[in-house]
Structure 1
């Protein structure tokens, strides 16, 4: 703990200075553009998907001389299907575009008459082609997975097993990601940062988990896994970035989609999205409503080794949770004049949750005889509202060396959380009451929490020379959280004791980045660096304050080679940070369980991760094979630690371990469609070596974990498709214990009709009811066996209809 300094005033002053810097930078692009010397010509264009008419990203594009066929430039299209090649000499050229499963297209001759000319080509359209596989002719479809320079893209439209489900179902179908029973997402055992449409999600922690469990998968277009993001992205998140891209309209006129779904476990959902595009203006409006129910039975058997003689605790807990979530978003964009666009988005989400729980505790002596029994009932009503607004401007400027782009964005986010919890203990152990006179027979908690976040950023991209692109930018953020929680304790004498368990948290954050990207023939390179300054303050109701100020520099490297024969190699490295969210810092016990204390650690420090990967991919006649070894080194990694005292009361908190080293690899195979069936299988394994440092914990210093997952899909007819997914995780060692093996299966069937505009999905999760999870933990003070007996088996039926063009193949 450090004593208070004028950190808040300093943060506001720094934030104001950064805001002034952003305004000054707004004029920089015009100055930089004026300094660009007029030189060779530029050739630009767009590639479209012939099936849907949408822009086609990651298409290989080559520029060749019309007469000799000599290759003079090459690259791939961006997310808008655009390409641009600068420093071309006057002459005649052709452009070649190709993508696996599509016909190779060649443009008409394009003439460049003079230096400094900027030529915009007519769009190039790629169409599905028939492929011969061992004498069988099949019609290829646009791949559900694409391998790009710094990310792997998975299209949700190609996953029938997620129809009618939530975002967590879509993420669970991504081979590289793991989603546990609580909805937490991990990548190679680490927590990634979740993005929406290329920006950090408007919530974090348990609020983000709840959002992903409720957000409809039918509104998602694709999921992008970015293991080592470039310096352009924030360095937050030890497991890279998972970017969820929502569906958007791309055609003039009115397009959109509507959907509705219903499940066997009380799940209901519906939503719609309408896109209106006219000339250089667009408007998108979407909304959804989702209701879900979840029932869980958990058990715990604990042996208290500090008691003499030892005693035991048996616990059985039943929980029923009902959720009702509604969301709405509006996006608008307009081109004021050529190259100048303004845009804005607004999003509101409201989640209501009712939680009913009953807990039965049974005390046993050394002979396993019952000595005491108590029952605790709790009821929670919660309402959480999230508001998120963004507005920005983008200026595109043409020059003889290529396009310059400058953008600025302001974002404001606010989340309010109101919660009321009433807990009643029907019978209470007198020994516990004697040990703690404030232990309540009844507890009433009232939470009123508000969190706000203001972010300002500016980015500038410009070409330098023939194959080099420079990106630079600044970002400033000010966030605060005011958590007011009033606890009333009703003791045996009906005395009303009040306790304030809230806190305030403030964090200011300022960063700048610089990246260089250059192509050397078939080798693409990208290096970058991001510098960040962070100032945090955590204050308790008693006035006690914990300040933490630090400066970091994060390098990134991405190298990508493309070889003949469909071979590709990608090497990447990044350093990232994961900061503890305020709930893990609060040292005040906020648990309503008299036998389990849950306290934070205000001295918890950020954890830092170095991550290096080598990814090799080969495309052949039967499909694609990839091999990915990786190494990850983390310092100050967190672990949730449980300790039990002589009275049998457990305390759960968070501690920093000294370091963790992970090294492993994954082997993936993606099979092309043969006899109507295609599929993917992924086998991954990693060894983890831990150093607990000064902590005296009883868990192994190393462990090995592996998993296998696969899916198979079949286009039974031109309009009927099916998919099955299986994931198996063997038992594994974790800090203070061991988790059991788990297996999860999922089956989906999709029927398209009405010229592929409409689809009917049936998704069955865990059809054989195989999922089961147990956890055994061990410490010098206790031995505990815990399990969660929650049936995951469910069936969901959903219907969707697309307005506008037919659905994508």
Structure 2
């Protein structure tokens, strides 16, 4: 009944917003011209021409004809910027003013210079979504996406092709969770689950763009076998004073509020933001297990309800100062806290071979999880007199903490559900403190008009200290007593020194890049409770290469290679102490895990034509010592999860993305298909696996009028076979509508989240001793309404926009 009323309310609000939308007045102004090659004066066909208003929004869009000519009509009197882009050329921006007296502007022949050394990204711009395609990455500008408004950074990632976020906030790329998440180009010491929780408290309005780098060069951090996803937060102020406010709420108990304020005057730039988030999305878990090791066999049913109510605060700040024409100094700081009240109730039903109830018990956990994350960065940049010759350095400090107390009550129940004995009481406190200090130096120098050198150093010291204390109540002594089997105190220390060098060369339509990175890593894992120490020093070499070729102005082909590593530096992976998920489900780490080494080869084909962009990316990835999750069941019916290295794992497949920009309909459709073959014969028979998986996703926007638009996201992941079992398919669907007010300075957005209640994950584990089906469902179905207001004067064209990207008139 509540869901029906919610959907009726959604339809009513959509109808009201739609009926308030009016058609924009059409102007009579026009801009025309011809785009040519600066050297040969030959025409450039199918170049992209965009007319942008003072706020940077694209008001009109066209492509040049075969003779390089273009004409854009229907423009209102105003001042505009015309941006012209073509693959293999340096973009150019021209100021244009259309008035009543002069409604027609002829730009004449606009010459574009072939880009030297670096293939500039081609930017495909639609009404609400920007896509930049570069040789080594694809960038999605997401600052104006209705389906993320009022949500979090995780909602932003769910809208990016080939990226997925599961029910536990774990991010994957092409179905692989071994992806490294960076924030503003910097890797985080937080582990996947912690980082997912952190991103769940970052408002979507703080995210400017997302960069997907599936096959990074030697310049980038080599961590992660699936590549890098870089989340770029808004950290630049507009000229003068500017800012924005956002407030939202939803039927699930969601409340969010935030704001940002920026100031830029002369050499000084200041920016700050704040976000608040409260949510309540319970999760229901079920497990059905067949105990084949028993004769006659028995069954186990588990049903759980988890509630989590987070209260999160996020603060960001940045200051930049231009010391002179060639020097700049900047400092950034991010601080976030999250306090989460959590309860978890479990009911266990033991069944005999006839599936008749034979025993009943329950378990209830209540606790609070406290998190904080602090990151500070100091950076210096120096530009030498020669163009492209520069030096930059960065010092970074990260401090974080997660954990808190839990109280547990466990009872045996009579078959009718009444308690049959005295409750067993436990209390548990766990803390984890990940820290990192790092230094980065980068040097770039053009050696000639066609050759460039890049070199640099990365040094980092990572430490994390984890403590687990478990006590049980001794009824005979009427006192709490420690449980020595569930007490852990250990430290992990990792020191990495790395140096890299890259040569870029461009010859005609070819771009060649070769690089190498050498590393010395020293790791030490010390278990204080037993005195055991596990040390693992090792050296690594990471070569990379890229060949890109511009067939013409609309076609590009590229081939890239990289070697990467995935270090086992997570608490869950290493700590051999038993961590009780519940008495029948235990997790143990493996301190002897070796790092994974990944060799990746990727081919890229790209075509642009008018409003469409097509990108096809076949790939192959060979992994040595791949880390996999292994589950075992003992004779007491206790399931233990641990981790082990399998000999090799090969994955090959392809991604395809089609993006449409301009016009009333824009968006993208993407799909990824891959086959994975794992050789786990080193662990025993029956663990090797061959699987095929695919995902598909579309995000479409429809502009009903200049002030009203609709957007829909639909994502599907096909079922896939994994070691010891199978993961079921998943579907995600979100609808959004946005109404713009007050000359685009204010907007009202309504999101309909999971209208068909499909947010669930199901998996099957198959072993000679047992068969288990697990199902988890998070209750996220609901409506979310948010209001956004922006104020201040927008940036016209700052120094950072011009350097290396666009050439002004």
Give your verdict on TM over 0.5. yes
* Cα distance between partner residues in 1 of 2:142 and 2:107: 27
The counterpart of 2:658, out of the listed 649, 669, 673, is 669
Does 2:613 align with 1:624?
A: yes
The counterpart of 1:413, out of the listed 369, 376, 398, is 398
The counterpart of 1:268, out of the listed 255, 261, 272, is 255
Change (3 A) 1:321 1:667: same
Structure 2 partner of 1:496? 480
Change (3 A) 1:719 1:537: same
* Cα distance between partner residues in 2 of 1:750 and 1:570: 38
Q: Secondary structure at the match of 1:403?
A: coil
Does 2:730 align with 1:746?
A: no
Q: Secondary structure at the match of 2:449?
A: coil
Q: Secondary structure at the match of 1:298?
A: strand
Change (3 A) 1:772 1:414: closer
Shift of 1:788: 1.4
Q: Secondary structure at the match of 1:345?
A: strand
* Cα distance between partner residues in 1 of 2:311 and 2:298: 42
Between stretches 490-499 and 544-553, larger displacement belongs to: 490-499
Q: What does 1:231-246 align with in structure 2 at a 5 Å threshold?
A: 231-246=218-233
The counterpart of 2:408, out of the listed 400, 423, 427, is 423
Shift of 1:647: 1.2
User: Which string of whole-angstrom CA distances, capped at 9 and with x for unpartnered residues, describes residues 27-68 of structure 1?
Assistant: xxxxxxxxxxxxxxxxxxxx9984356699xx9xxxxxxxxx
* Cα distance between partner residues in 1 of 2:324 and 2:136: 33
The counterpart of 1:585, out of the listed 562, 574, 577, is 574
Q: What does 1:272-351 align with in structure 2 at a 5 Å threshold?
A: 272-351=259-338
Structure 2 partner of 1:457? 440
Structure 2 partner of 1:17? none
**Residues 317, 334 of structure 2: 8 Å contact kept:** yes
Structure 2 partner of 1:356? 343
Change (3 A) 1:108 1:765: closer
The counterpart of 2:239, out of the listed 244, 252, 260, is 252
Shift of 1:491: 4.7
The counterpart of 1:443, out of the listed 426, 429, 432, is 426
User: Which string of whole-angstrom CA distances, capped at 9 and with x for unpartnered residues, describes residues 350-407 of structure 1?
Assistant: 11111101100111111212221111010121111111111121111113xx232112
Does 2:739 align with 1:737?
A: no
Does 2:464 align with 1:476?
A: no
Structure 2 partner of 1:51? 53
Structure 1 partner of 2:141? 155
Shift of 1:82: 14
Does 2:718 align with 1:718?
A: no
Q: Secondary structure at the match of 1:502?
A: strand
Structure 2 partner of 1:5? none
Structure 1 partner of 2:635? 646
Structure 1 partner of 2:539? 551
Does 2:108 align with 1:97?
A: no
Q: Secondary structure at the match of 1:658?
A: strand
Q: What does 1:33-182 align with in structure 2 at a 5 Å threshold?
A: 50-52=52-54, 97=92, 141=127, 144-182=130-168
Shift of 1:572: 1.4
Change (3 A) 1:514 1:205: same
* Cα distance between partner residues in 2 of 1:253 and 1:513: 40
Change (3 A) 1:267 1:141: closer
**Residues 428, 441 of structure 1: 8 Å contact kept:** no
**Residues 440, 456 of structure 2: 8 Å contact kept:** yes
Structure 2 partner of 1:703? 691
Structure 1 partner of 2:666? 678
Does 2:166 align with 1:183?
A: no
* Cα distance between partner residues in 2 of 1:55 and 1:403: 29
Structure 1 partner of 2:765? 777
The counterpart of 1:372, out of the listed 355, 359, 379, is 359
Shift of 1:671: 3.3
User: Which string of whole-angstrom CA distances, capped at 9 and with x for unpartnered residues, describes residues 52-96 of structure 1?
Assistant: 56699xx9xxxxxxxxxxxxxxxxxxxxx999xxxxxxxxxx987
Q: Secondary structure at the match of 1:341?
A: strand
* Cα distance between partner residues in 2 of 1:787 and 1:142: 37
Between stretches 770-779 and 288-297, larger displacement belongs to: 770-779
Does 2:767 align with 1:768?
A: no
User: Which string of whole-angstrom CA distances, capped at 9 and with x for unpartnered residues, describes residues 3-25 of structure 1?
Assistant: xxxxxxxxxxxxxxxxxxxxxxx
Shift of 1:522: 2.1
**Residues 364, 370 of structure 1: 8 Å contact kept:** yes
Does 2:369 align with 1:385?
A: no
**Residues 697, 779 of structure 1: 8 Å contact kept:** no
Q: Secondary structure at the match of 1:157?
A: coil
Structure 1 partner of 2:549? 561
Task: Give the TM-score taking structure 2 as reference length.
Answer: 0.81
Q: Secondary structure at the match of 1:211?
A: helix
Shift of 1:105: 7.0
**Structure 1: runs of 5 or more not aligned:** 1-46, 60-80, 84-93, 111-125, 129-138, 430-438
Task: Give the TM-score taking structure 1 as reference length.
Answer: 0.81
Q: Secondary structure at the match of 1:308?
A: coil
Shift of 1:205: 2.6
**Residues 304, 646 of structure 1: 8 Å contact kept:** no
Structure 2 partner of 1:608? 597
Structure 2 partner of 1:596? 585
User: Which string of whole-angstrom CA distances, capped at 9 and with x for unpartnered residues, describes residues 736-756 of structure 1?
Assistant: 111111211111112122121
Change (3 A) 1:259 1:107: farther
Change (3 A) 1:486 1:765: same
**Residues 401, 432 of structure 2: 8 Å contact kept:** yes
Shift of 1:204: 2.7
Q: Secondary structure at the match of 1:634?
A: strand
Q: Secondary structure at the match of 1:293?
A: coil
Structure 2 partner of 1:9? none
* Cα distance between partner residues in 2 of 1:628 and 1:54: 31
Q: Secondary structure at the match of 2:541?
A: strand
Shift of 1:200: 1.6
Shift of 1:595: 1.0
Structure 1 partner of 2:677? 689
Structure 2 partner of 1:196? 183
Structure 1 partner of 2:42? none
